[in-house]
Amino acid sequence: MATINPFRSALAQLERAASFITVAPGTLAQLRTPKRTVQVAVPVRMDDGTTRVFDGYRVQYNDARGPFKGGIRYHPDANLDEVKALAFWMAMKCAVADIPFGGGKGGIRVDPKKLSVGELERLTRSYTRLLKDVIGSRRDVPAPDVYTTPQIMAWIVDEYAKIMGHTDLAVVTGKPLALGGSLGRETATGDGGFIIFEELAKKLKLKPKDTRVVVQGLGNVGYYLALRMHDAGYRVVGLSDSKGGIWDKQGLGMNPREVLQWKKKTGTVVGFPDTKSITNEKLLELPCNVLVPSALENQLTGKNAKRVKASVILEMANGPTTPDADDIFRKKKVVVIPDILANAGGVTVSYFEWAQNLQGVSWTEDVVRKQLQEKMTVAFNEIWKTAEQHATDLRTAAFIVAVQRIATAMELRATA
């Protein structure tokens, strides 16, 4: 099967949104390509004394609205087109959330599960040294992403401080609390997704006890989203991790806390008592009301979209739905809450963390949650209103809002 190019998918989303609005040709041309692409060879001394070199990337897509912002992922399939797409989506996401950042993304092509802690630290510090001239609290602010952690962010802070001769806590977000991290950041993406879903549930008049939810991916994002759903009374009937999925065919729902404990004990969710084991592919096709892809991109494609039974898709992963799948969902009248809205809670609280670091203050968790609730609710209502205004789907509406905001900033900053 041919590999789906995520950057082409991203550009297709851009073109669809642009067809609904007036954007200057020059502005649109700039939005079709990153402002800067950095590719580096990352040398690492391994524990056995040998040196390996890993491919590293940092894509800075657009900074018209503020410094570049975006995570760093360590993944064996990381590649430049993927990072470009993720950087593009970050630019759009920050605009949708209406926070003063542009979009960027980074990655290293590596399987972090095969590295020791020491090798992982040396990899991170080597990568930081190579990017020292392009990151910074006023230039480009990285954060955790797939298989990166607060500890990895701490190593970046420390290495950057050694290089610059002073500590700049705001150089990254998603840090440990002891190094300027924000309360509420760990759960922020899941919390934000739940806030958005609750707003949609009001519009569609969904009742929790009658709503079955399937969540693909039990990492940080998927777990906290599933937990919020469960605690609010929704029935979580399907969950998965990278090794497979489980289905509660009785339809009563599972407690994500118990599933996570099982996963910690056994290494996978598979085999959780009173559930049926299934593949990740089949999990996407389970009978349910709400499907939550929260793993990697390109999970819902033209190949499987017709078999998806959910009436609502809440995109907690970045780019999980391809344009051809979107076309199918529109025809089926499936409501897709797009990633650039649904999972914007993470970058929103990252913005709160960055602002706290720059001001030298620390907010309480209640303040963070209140501010997140307000930001996400306003964003949802703006997208919903735009979708009604243009008689289009929520993804196109989100891109319309984002493109208009970025284009306005670009044109205001333009010089002769």
Task: Provide the annotated active-site residues.
Answer: 105
Give the angle subtended at the CA of 255 by the CAs of 252 and 253, to the nearest 5°: 15
Using CA atoms, how far apart are residues 81 and 70, in angstroms rounded to an integer?
Answer: 15
User: Within its chain, how far is the Cα of 358 from the centroid?
Assistant: 24
Q: In what order do the strands lie in the sheet with 290-293?
A: 276-278, 244-247, 235-241, 212-216, 290-293, 312-314, 335-337
* 171 touches 132 (CB < 8 A): no
Using CA atoms, how far apart are residues 400 and 405, in angstroms rounded to an integer?
Answer: 9
**The amino acid at 216:** Q
Give bridge partners of residue 62 from the DSSP assignment. 103
Backbone angles phi, psi at 287, to 5 degrees: -70, 120
3-state helix, strand, coil split of the chain in percent (to 5) is: 50, 20, 35
**The amino acid at 370:** K
Give bridge partners of residue 105 from the DSSP assignment. 59
Give the angle subtended at the CA of 380 by the CAs of 401 and 240, to the nearest 5°: 110
